[in-house]
Amino acid sequence: MKKIWIILIIVGVVVLYFFSSIKSTYNKMVANSQKVEAQWSQVENVYQRRADLIPNLVNTVKGYATHEKETLEGVVEARAKATSVNINASNLTPDKLQQFQQAQAGLSQALSKLMVVVERYPDLKANQNFLELQAQLEGTENRIATERKRFNDYTQEYNTYIQSFPQNILAGMFGFKEKPYFKAAKDADKVPNVGDILNQN
């Protein structure tokens, strides 16, 4: 009888250990996943901030560059496309993230063309409202780069954890999947440095 109790106690301790270990691993996967999702919200916020600056930028340029209708319309259309791509943070997939990047890249290209056009209008370049918008846009581009890097860092931490043994077994059991990264794309997908663009010519 005494041996049975000893066996039961040992079994109980082992079961408790494994339960505690599984619980700890599961909770860490959840926490890491939520960090990635929270950071995705930050990424969206800075891209939205850029989008919010564009109407004022376009209107300011329009007042000086009335003959640049095609370029201005290109910026407006690219902004509309970029803001129409919404991704649920809990359902990030490589395809969806690529779609988001492509839309934002289109807006970056349109802004680059607009900044080249600005070079033809010295009065516009000296306009105080334009200078303030330019400074805000430059700051936003820097924030975008920072938040994207932070997103990739958190994603790497999460992916590494769920792919390591024995977490990978539990990740498969509980449905934790690898999350996609922002990838360095071709030149068209690089966030434009507004200052460099304005100083090209």
pLDDT tens per residue, range 147-160: 999 999 999 999 99
Would residue 77 count as lying in a domain?
yes
Token reading at 106? 């289109």
Would residue 174 count as lying in a domain?
yes
Would residue 12 count as lying in a domain?
no
Token reading at 15? 């079961």
- Give ∠ CA 98-101-102 in degrees, rounded to 5: 85
The pLDDT tens digits for 21-61 are 899 999 999 999 999 999 999 999 999 999 999 999 999 99
Kindly tell me if the per-residue pLDDT of 98 is higher than 60. yes
Would residue 66 count as lying in a domain?
yes
Domain count, the chain: 1
More confident residue, 193 or 110: 110
**Spatial separation of the C-alpha atoms in residues 82 and 76, rounded to whole Å:** 10
Note the pTM of the prediction, 2 decimals.
0.83
More confident residue, 84 or 16: 84
5: phi then psi, degrees, rounded to nearest 5: -65, -40
Would residue 155 count as lying in a domain?
yes
Token reading at 159? 């992916």
Would residue 169 count as lying in a domain?
yes
Q: Which structural domain, as residue segments, surrounds residue 75?
A: 40-198
